[in-house]
Structure formats: C-alpha cells, structure tokens
Amino acid sequence: MVVLSQPIVDNLAQFKTCKPPPDIFTGIPVVDLSHPDAKARVVEACKELGFFKLINHGVSMELFNLLEAEAVKFFKLPQQEKEKSGPPNPFGYGNKRIGPNGDVGWVEYLLFSTTNSHNPNLIFPGIPQTLWCLVNEYVSAVRNVGCEVLEMIADQLQMGSKDALSRLIRDEKSDSCFRLNHYPPCPELQALSGRNLIGFGEHTDPQIISVLRSNNTSGLQICLKDGSWVSVPSDHTSLYVNVGDSLQVMSNGRFRSVKHRVLADSLKSRVSMIYFGGPGLSEKIRPLSSVMEDGEESLYKEFTWSEYKKSAYKSRLGDNRLSLFEKSAAQ
C-alpha cells in the first residue's frame, strides 16, 4: 500500500485533476510539407480540427535535441536559481501560476518575447547564454515553418498575395512569443486517486498560429467539434500546428481555433516548446476580404491585436476570449 503524507495531499488539492487519458487518437491529420497535396490538406485540417501534425518540416532533429537538453538542464537547476528569471510579467520563469488571473497548472515554464527590444539580461538574469542562443535559433527556424504554412493557406484560399498572412508574423513588429514548458511527473496523485493532474488547463491560443514540439511524453489533448477530448500521440520528430483565435477571425470562422489542454503524466516528464506567431500590436484583426463570399458579413467586430491582447490578459485561461468580439455580443 502507498502511504501518502498529508502535506503532499494538501499541496495537490489546489490543482484540477482529470481521469487518465483515453487511448491515443489516431485521427490527427498528418501533413507532409514536401507533398504536392500539402496545401489542400492544411486548409482541410484548419477547417475540421484547427490542428494537424507536420512531417518533413525541415527543422533538424539536432536543433530539437540541443534545445530540449538545455531546457531540461535549466529546469533541473535549484528553484532559487530558476526564480532569478521570474516571476513572469508576462515573460520570464513561472512555476504553477499561469497568467495574471489566478490560473494554476502542474507546470513550470519559461516564456519569451521574440521581439528583440526585450533585453534578456533584464528579464532572464538566471538564463544560461547557451539556452538563450538556442531559443533564438529555434524560434527563427519554426517561424519559417509557420510562414510556410500560412503561405500555403494564402495560396490555397487564393488570397491574391502569397504573404497576406505570413507577413504578419515575419514582420519585425510581430508580437510573437515562445514558451518552454516542463510538466514534472506526479506519481503520488496517480497512486492516491488514479487520476492525472491538469498541467495546462483548457484554452485556445490568442495568436494566429502556434507551432509545437514535445519530447516523447504524451499529455496534449484537443477538443473535437462534438466537445469530446482526445489525446494527441507524442512524436518528438514532428511539429504540431494549431490555429489561433486571430486566424479564426481572419478566416471569418472557417478555421477553428482549437481548444486544447495538457495532462501531466504520472511517471514521465513532458517538455514542450511552442512558438506563438502573433501580429504587430497595431494590426487590425478582421476577416480578409479575399476569403469572404459576396454579401458575406463579418462574424466579428473589428479590433487590433493590441486590443485583443489587453482583453486576453484580463481573462482566465479557459474563457472564450473571442466571445466579447462576436457581432452578436452586446456592444
């Protein structure tokens, strides 16, 4: 019999839990970037799930491994050392608290702005130079992948110019960010209740596009159109792409900003790295005229990314942030 000390139970009581994940879902669309039908498959997946797996993406396994190893090294540092780069405001090292409004999860993380104006020494006094350099190298590689995907969408939807979407995240004023997440295992809880801790609660990503890579520990779940949650198979060689709220708006609801969450594993650490491609602060977020049919009305009130971001940072993780900007919402 496993005997749990009271402090462990008390400490875990603040976190939400969930029944162990169901079998791994086999219906995640796989897009081979080098295949001629890639554009059509990307668009189909953005409409159906707002989520897909990318293979032949061109980011080297070596870069994945180097960044993962440096991230693991950082997360193994004594708590005091890691906290030199925190608290996240919103950038920096965070532990258990997500965002400014009381959300918690079984996760520690480093959140970076990808805009150069942020001096790393001010926000990350505790971060090793090697990790900083690898983050920059990795971000530029996955930004290119994000741009390639957005260019395929623009082409497939005949948006007129290939860079109608990609320019937003390629722009030097793009307000993008990057996150390294570490979900420690929690065997005590599994032993106690047979349940899993919620590592990162359900939410949608506010930006245009997110590009995710994880180690070989599963835990990511996405919500299907019928409201059921399914587990995404882990694959440390692939990238996963999800549609963010801004792309849902720009497609006037044709693409789906996918609701997702992460369950911590009871035995294995999960390490994930996510690039969130966002537009410049003053960019207007509205349906692109090229996607609209004759007479079609926008489902959303027009807003700038700065307005949306401000509103997002007032919300709780699981809130439907776009609902405030829907045309049907009270003015």
Ligand X SMILES: O=C(O)CCC(=O)C(=O)O
Ligand Y SMILES: C=C1C[C@]23C[C@@]1(O)CC[C@H]2[C@@]12CC[C@H](O)[C@@](C)(C(=O)O1)[C@H]2[C@@H]3C(=O)O
For residue 152, the tally of other CB atoms under 10 A from its CB is 21
Q: Is 245 in the site for Fe ion (CB under 5 A)?
A: no
Amino acid letter for position 329: A
Active site positions, annotated: 270
What number of chain residues touch ligand X (CB under 6 A)? Answer: 11
Q: Is 309 in the site for ligand X (CB under 6 A)?
A: no
Beta bridge mates, 303: 285
Q: Is 214 in the site for ligand X (CB under 6 A)?
A: yes
Beta bridge mates, 300: 326
- The phi, psi pair for 262, rounded to 5°, reads -130, 130
- Contact between 51 and 57 (Cβ < 8 Å): no
Question: What is the three-class DSSP state of 102?
Answer: coil
Q: Is 50 in the site for ligand Y (CB under 6 A)?
A: no
For ligand X, the binding residue among 166, 231, 246, 272 (CB under 6 A) is: 272
> Between residue 216 and residue 245, which ones bind ligand X under the rule CB under 6 A?
220
> Between residue 196 and residue 235, which ones bind Fe ion under the rule CB under 5 A?
205
CA distance 304 to 293: 23
Q: Is 262 in the site for ligand X (CB under 6 A)?
A: yes
Q: Which residues contact 78 (CB under 8 A, 6 or more apart)?
A: none
Q: Is 90 in the site for ligand Y (CB under 6 A)?
A: yes
- Contact between 149 and 169 (Cβ < 8 Å): no
Q: Is 134 in the site for ligand X (CB under 6 A)?
A: no
Residue 141 binds what, of ligand Y, Fe ion, ligand X, none (CB under 5 to 8 Å, by partner type)? none
- Contact between 155 and 162 (Cβ < 8 Å): yes
Q: Is 201 in the site for ligand Y (CB under 6 A)?
A: no
Q: Is 43 in the site for ligand X (CB under 6 A)?
A: no
Beta bridge mates, 53: 30, 240
Only one of the segments 8-16, 99-107, 146-154, 168-176 lies at the binding site for ligand Y (rule: CB under 6 A); that segment is 99-107
Q: Is 105 in the site for ligand Y (CB under 6 A)?
A: no
CA distance 121 to 325: 37
Of 41 and 179, the one with the shorter C-beta distance to ligand Y is 179
> Between residue 247 and residue 276, which ones bind ligand Y under the rule CB under 6 A?
276
Q: Which residues bind ligand X (CB under 6 A)?
A: 179, 181, 200, 205, 212, 214, 220, 260, 262, 272, 274
Q: Which residues bind Fe ion (CB under 5 A)?
A: 205
